[in-house]
Amino acid sequence: MQKLKMYVFATMALSFIFTLPAVAEEGAGKSDDKMPVKITRSMASVDIKHNGKMVTIQRSQDTKNLMNPAFTKTSRKCPPFCIQPSQIAGVETIGELEMLKYLKKKSDGDKQLLIIDSRGPKWVARGTIPGSTHIHYKKLSLGNADEDAMADIIENQFGALRLTEFWDFGNARTLVFFCNGMWCGQSPTNIRSLLKIGYPPSKLKWYRGGMQAWETAGLTTVKPVHK
38 located within any domain = no
98 located within any domain = yes
CA distance 97 to 109: 19
pLDDT at 31: 79
- 11-66: pLDDT as tens digits: 443 333 333 333 334 446 887 778 999 999 999 999 999 999 999 999 999 999 99
- 11-21: pLDDT as tens digits: 443 333 333 33
66 located within any domain = no
139 located within any domain = yes
Domain count, the chain: 1
pLDDT at 224: 85
Residues 108-118 as b/e (b if ≥16 CB within 10 A, e otherwise) read eebeebbbbbb
Alpha helices in 35-185 (DSSP H): 96-107, 121-124, 147-152
| CB of 48 closer than 8 Å to CB of 55 | yes
Q: What is the CATH classification number for the domain harbouring 107?
A: 3.40.250.10
76 located within any domain = no
**Least confident span in 2-6, 98-102, 141-145, 150-154:** 2-6
pTM, two decimals, is 0.87
146 located within any domain = yes
| CB of 10 closer than 8 Å to CB of 198 | yes
49 located within any domain = no
What is the extent of the structural domain holding 164?
2-24+81-216
46 located within any domain = no
Mean pLDDT of the chain: 89
